[in-house]
Amino acid sequence: MRPPYHHPEQHFGASQTVRDVVLGAADGLTVPFALAAGLAGAISSTNIIVTAGLAEIVAGAIAMGLGGYLAARSESDHYASEYRREAREIVEIPHEERREVAKVLAEYGLEGEALGRAVDAISANPRRWVDFMMRFELGLERPAARRAVSSAGTIGAAYFGGGLVPLVPYILLPSATQALWLSAAVTLVTLLVLGTIKGKMTGMPPLRSGIQTVVIGSVAAAVAYLVARWVSS
C-alpha cells in the first residue's frame, strides 16, 4: 500500500530506519485501535480487550515482519534468476536481445544510425547490456537484499510498538468506555503526527498525508465499533 516514490531531488534528511519506523508504526496503530474500539462497544472487560489487542499486534507484527522478509528474499531470488536468464540470452540469442534493446530505444525516438550506434555501445559490454535489459526491458531494480532483512525487522518491531499506543489506556483505566475516549485521543494525535512525517518522507503534502491517516483510522474504528455492537446485541 506504499506508493513507490523515488524522487532523488526531494530527499528527506531521515535515514531509512527512521522511515521504516514511521511507516510501520502508522500501519500498526490503525487496526489495533479499531479492534479495541470495536470491542469496547461490545464488552466491558478491559482484560479481554487487552488480550485481543496484544494477540492482534503480535500477529500483525509477525505477518508484516516475516512476510516482508520472505517477500524481500523471493524478490532477490527472482532478480538473480532473471539476471542469469538475461546473461544467458545475450550469449545464446544476441541478435534477438539486440533487437530488444533497439525496441526500447526506438520508443524514445532513436532511429537510423543513431539507434544502431546506441545499440552497439550498450551491447559492447555484457554487464551493461544485461543491466540495461533488467532495468529497461523488464523494469526490475536490483533489490538491496541485506537492507530488506533489517527493514522487515524494523517494520515489524515498529508495528508492535505502534500497536501498543491505542492499548495503553485499556491497560491503565478500569472502565472500557473511559479507556476508549483516551485511546481515541492519543491514537488520533499520534496518527496525525506520523501521517505528517510520512507525507514529508514520501513527497506528499504533509498536512494532507496527516489528515488522510487520521481519516482512515477514524473510519476503521467507527465501523468496527458499530459492527461489534451489532454482532454482540
User: Shortest Cβ distance from residue 42 to a second copy (Å)?
Assistant: 5
Is 206 within 8 Å of 199 (Cβ atoms)? Answer: yes
What contacts 140, CB < 8 A, 6 or more positions away? 78, 79, 82, 134
Asked if 92 interacts with a second copy (CB under 8 A), we say: no
Helix, coil or strand: residue 134: helix
Binding residue (CB under 8 A) for a second copy from 23, 25, 38, 179: 38
Taking CA atoms, 40 is separated from 47, 170, 175, 218, 220, in Å, by 11, 9, 9, 15, 14
- From 21, 25, 42, 194, residue interacting with a second copy (rule: CB under 8 A): 42
Closer residue to a second copy in complex, CB, 94/111: 111
Task: Decide if 29 contacts 191 (C-beta within 8 A).
Answer: yes
Q: Given candidates 16, 71, 84, 88, which one binds a second copy under the rule CB under 8 A?
A: 71
DSSP string, 146-208: HHHHHHHHHHHHHHHHHHHHHHHHHHH-S-HHHHHHHHHHHHHHHHHHHHHHHHHHHTS-HHH
CB of 49 to a second copy, least distance (A): 9
Per-residue binding letters, 113-152, with a second copy (x by CB under 8 A): xxx-xx-xxx-xx--x--xx---x-xxxx-----------
Q: How far is the CB of 186 from a second copy (least distance, A)?
A: 17
**To the nearest whole angstrom, how small is the minimum distance from the Cβ of residue 189 to a second copy?**
18
Q: Of 25, 105, 180, 194, which one interacts with a second copy (CB under 8 A)?
A: 105
- Residues 197 and 205: their CA atoms lie apart, in Å, by 10
* Sites for a second copy among residues 152-191 (CB under 8 A): none
Cell, residue 32: 489495533
**Interacting stretch for a second copy, rule CB under 8 A, among 17-25, 173-181, 182-190, 210-218?**
210-218
Q: Does 16 bind a second copy (CB under 8 A)?
A: no
